[in-house]
């Protein structure tokens, strides 16, 4: 089955795609409307065919494709019966079902099949071409390297890939990637059951620009290169991956093709084209890490949910360059195709508006290429009026700054930079004070830190005054699992070593915050005592150790990435941290963190084998 999310009559819909037998026109049909048409047809006395109509859902169909995926195998089986029946019915009885149940695909706005992906995790360096002829890579560590994209990056077929604020200068890049959409939720999924959690496949275009390279002092116009002072891995991926996290730079679609339609996901040709010209041909069989292994690995520390999307990196050329002159052309489009899954086509739009954030205007949020952005922009939820409206479970995005304190160069070999390092992780890694935190079985020693975090008040891009965007502040106790570093076999690549600091914080509930953020008079967040209790151990420090404060982080991130109301941004770990051994936390321990004027957060660490319901 081909499943689509789309906009019609001013609202989000979803349905299955069939070709009308007489003309071959593709229609997207809504299951509830198709079922209603068939039920009405059953009342016609002379209709013998409909008398054999099988039983379908028997209740209202879910309103979104993600909600449908949550029905699991049973829902998929019912939909398959409906699609099969509709196909036979229109061929032999009444093709009026098409206009009565749906819309021609050409007449609707196709969204990304999953318009608001909770997890949009893209692997990198996952093909043999990255290591095959590289004499500096004698060992390949077989665990996934990848980045998580915000919801504003996801757009559907036909929506413009939009570059603003010089983001594409002097070039941009793109390539086709296989997207795997999760159906059944799970955690601690064995590799032999991993495919049971896959709903189907889609096409992802992995687009990148150069904005976070160009804002490094003296580096404008140098493309994908950085000066020596910015050579640490965490800033390299800030520049590279933040250029992929930018709004509209991760098209997805046009459809979700259910896995029963694809015989072997490792035997598909892939094409990357620019305005119809073939730029690269590749094959899914080039994957180093396959679908089963990646699902099992991710779920070894974090939960997967229906509608999560994992894309598996380029199998061919990494980042096909499109020179700026061509990217700015009015007819430039990016075409990516995967055999048996579909062709995804997006035009390119360049919306340069020079100047600083106070002078330039962002792409209007109400007409944004990303449906996730404009849906919020046109709703009452675009602004949170009080901290009580927020909960950790409602946060869509979680951003972390790294090496953002005065002692980072001595403690972590991360020099002080003019541009802050930041990455984002799944919001499911946020936990609420007072709730237990389940420690996965794979975990090793934990690094526990106390940090200052802010909660975003409103949907916003190109923030000029970050204080206006802060709903409130919260202490955060963060856990970082050292088992990722323990898995690195030397001699390793820098990315294999460096990514451990990011993944270590991604487990469910590993970043504990207040139930509601607190205000600070005049946003006076500096020079406040930070205290961390880990069992009987107590360490102290000050928020004055931070280099980049909330205003600067909000401005840096929002220059390319639309922030959503309720998003959480932490200034990151400082030297106020404690290493907690596995033996210690398996015996039971409570961690507490306090920031002067903001109160305390705490959590009991519960090993998985003794967790409730394990």
pLDDT tens-digit map of 97-120: 999 999 999 999 999 999 999 999
Residue 218 in domain: no
Same domain, 398 and 479: yes
Same domain, 427 and 562: yes
Q: Which residues pair with 250 in a beta bridge?
A: 154
Same domain, 106 and 130: no
Task: Kindly tell me if the per-residue pLDDT of 42 is higher than 80.
Answer: no
pLDDT tens-digit map of 429-485: 999 999 999 999 999 999 999 999 999 999 999 998 899 999 999 999 999 999 999
Task: Kindly tell me if the per-residue pLDDT of 387 is higher than 70.
Answer: yes
pLDDT tens-digit map of 123-140: 999 999 998 888 888 898
Strand 309-311 relative to strand 320-323, pairing: unpaired
Same domain, 410 and 461: yes
Among the residue ranges 47-51, 221-225, 299-303, 465-469, the one predicted with the least confidence is: 47-51
Which of the listed residues 351, 378, 405 is the one where a domain comes to its end? Answer: 378
Confidence of residue 255 (pLDDT cuts 50, 70, 90): very high
Domain CATH code at residue 132 = 3.90.850.10
Residue 610's pLDDT is what?
Answer: 46
Task: Kindly tell me if the per-residue pLDDT of 331 is higher than 90.
Answer: no
Q: What are phi and psi of 50, to 5 degrees?
A: -70, -20
Same domain, 252 and 368: yes
> How far does the chain reach from its first CA to its final CA, in angstroms?
35
Residue 22's pLDDT is what?
Answer: 87
Q: How many CB atoms lie within 10 A of CB 568?
A: 25
Look at residue 479 and give its three-state secondary structure: strand
Domain hosting 81: range is 2-110
Residue 356's pLDDT is what?
Answer: 58
Give me the number of domains the chain comprises: 3
Same domain, 277 and 320: yes
pLDDT tens-digit map of 513-537: 999 999 999 999 999 999 999 999 9
Burial of 612 (0-12, 13-18, 19+ CB in 10 A): exposed
Domain CATH code at residue 90 = 2.30.30
- Whether the CB-CB separation of 317 and 269 falls below 8 Å is answered with no
- Whether the CB-CB separation of 251 and 344 falls below 8 Å is answered with yes
Residue 357's pLDDT is what?
Answer: 55
Residue 65 in domain: yes
- Whether the CB-CB separation of 250 and 205 falls below 8 Å is answered with yes
| Predicted TM-score (pTM) of this structure | 0.96
Report d(CA 161, CA 149) in Å as an integer: 15
- Whether the CB-CB separation of 210 and 173 falls below 8 Å is answered with no
Q: Average per-residue pLDDT in the chain?
A: 93
Strand 342-351 relative to strand 161-164, pairing: parallel
Token pair of 179, please? 């997207």
Which of the listed residues 67, 92, 110 is the one where a domain comes to its end? Answer: 110
Report d(CA 442, CA 501) in Å as an integer: 16
- Nearest 10 degrees: CA dihedral of 458, 463, 465, 468? 0
Residue 521 in domain: yes
Buried b (16+ CB within 10 A) or exposed e, 118-155: bbbbbbbbbbebbeeeeeebeebbebbbbbbbbbbbbb
Residue 227 in domain: no
């Amino acid at each position: 089955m081909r499943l689509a999310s789309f906009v019609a009559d001013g609202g989000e819909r979803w349905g299955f795609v069939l070709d009308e037998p007489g003309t071959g026109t593709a229609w997207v049909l809504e299951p509830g409307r198709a079922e209603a048409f068939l039920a009405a047809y059953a009342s016609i006395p002379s209709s013998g065919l409909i008398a054999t109509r099988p039983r379908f859902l028997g209740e209202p169909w879910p309103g979104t494709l993600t909600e449908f995926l949550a029905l699991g195998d049973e829902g998929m089986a019912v939909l398959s019966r409906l699609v099969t029946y509709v196909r036979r019915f229109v061929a032999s009885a009444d093709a009026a079902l098409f206009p009565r149940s749906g819309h021609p695909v050409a007449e609707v706005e196709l969204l990304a099949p999953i318009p608001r992906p909770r997890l949009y995790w893209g692997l990198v360096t996952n093909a043999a071409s990255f290591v095959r002829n590289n004499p500096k890579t004698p060992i390949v560590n077989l665990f996934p390297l990848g980045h998580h994209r915000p919801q504003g990056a996801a757009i559907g077929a036909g929506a413009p890939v939009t570059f603003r604020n010089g983001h594409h200068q002097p070039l941009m890049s793109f390539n086709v990637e296989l997207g795997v959409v999760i159906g059944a939720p799970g955690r601690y999924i064995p590799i032999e059951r991993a495919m049971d959690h896959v709903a189907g496949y889609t096409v992802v275009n992995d687009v990148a620009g150069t904005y976070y390279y160009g804002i490094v002092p003296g580096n404008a116009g140098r493309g994908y290169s950085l000066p020596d002072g910015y050579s640490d891995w965490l800033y390299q991926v800030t520049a590279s991956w933040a250029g992929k996290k930018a709004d509209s730079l991760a098209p997805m679609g046009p459809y979700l093709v259910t896995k029963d339609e694809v015989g072997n996901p490792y035997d598909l040709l892939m094409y990357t084209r620019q305005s119809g010209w073939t730029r690269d041909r590749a094959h899914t069989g080039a994957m180093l890490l396959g679908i089963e292994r990646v699902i099992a690995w991710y779920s070894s520390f974090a939960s997967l949910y229906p509608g999560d999307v994992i894309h598996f990196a380029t199998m061919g050329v990494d980042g096909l360059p499109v020179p700026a002159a061509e990217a700015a052309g009015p007819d430039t489009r990016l075409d990516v195709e995967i055999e048996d899954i579909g062709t995804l086509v997006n035009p390119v739009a360049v919306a340069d508006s020079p100047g600083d954030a106070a002078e330039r205007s962002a792409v209007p949020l109400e007409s944004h290429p990303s449906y996730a952005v404009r849906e919020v922009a046109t709703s009452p939820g675009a602004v949170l009026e009080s901290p009580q409206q927020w909960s950790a479970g409602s946060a869509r995005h979680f951003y972390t700054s790294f090496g953002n304190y005065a002692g980072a160069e001595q403690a972590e070999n991360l020099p002080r930079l003019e541009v802050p390092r930041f990455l984002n992780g799944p919001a499911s890694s946020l936990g609420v004070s007072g709730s237990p935190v389940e420690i996965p079985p794979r975990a090793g020693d934990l690094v526990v830190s106390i940090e200052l975090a802010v909660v975003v008040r409103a949907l916003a891009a190109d923030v000029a005054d970050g204080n206006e965007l802060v709903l409130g502040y919260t202490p955060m106790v963060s856990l970082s699992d050292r088992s990722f570093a323990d898995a690195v076999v030397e001699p390793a690549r820098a990315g294999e070593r460096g990514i451990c600091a990011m993944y270590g914080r991604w487990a469910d509930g590993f970043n504990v915050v207040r139930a509601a953020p607190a205000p600070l008079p005049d946003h006076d967040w500096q020079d406040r005592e930070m205290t961390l209790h880990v069992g009987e151990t107590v360490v102290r420090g000050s928020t004055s150790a931070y280099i980049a404060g909330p205003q600067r982080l909000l401005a840096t991130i929002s220059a390319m990435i639309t922030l959503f109301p309720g998003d959480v941004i932490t200034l990151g770990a400082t030297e106020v941290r404690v290493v907690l051994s596995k033996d210690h936390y398996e015996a039971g321990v409570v961690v507490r963190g306090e920031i002067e004027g903001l109160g305390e957060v705490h959590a009991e660490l519960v090993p998985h084998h003794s967790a409730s319901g394990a």
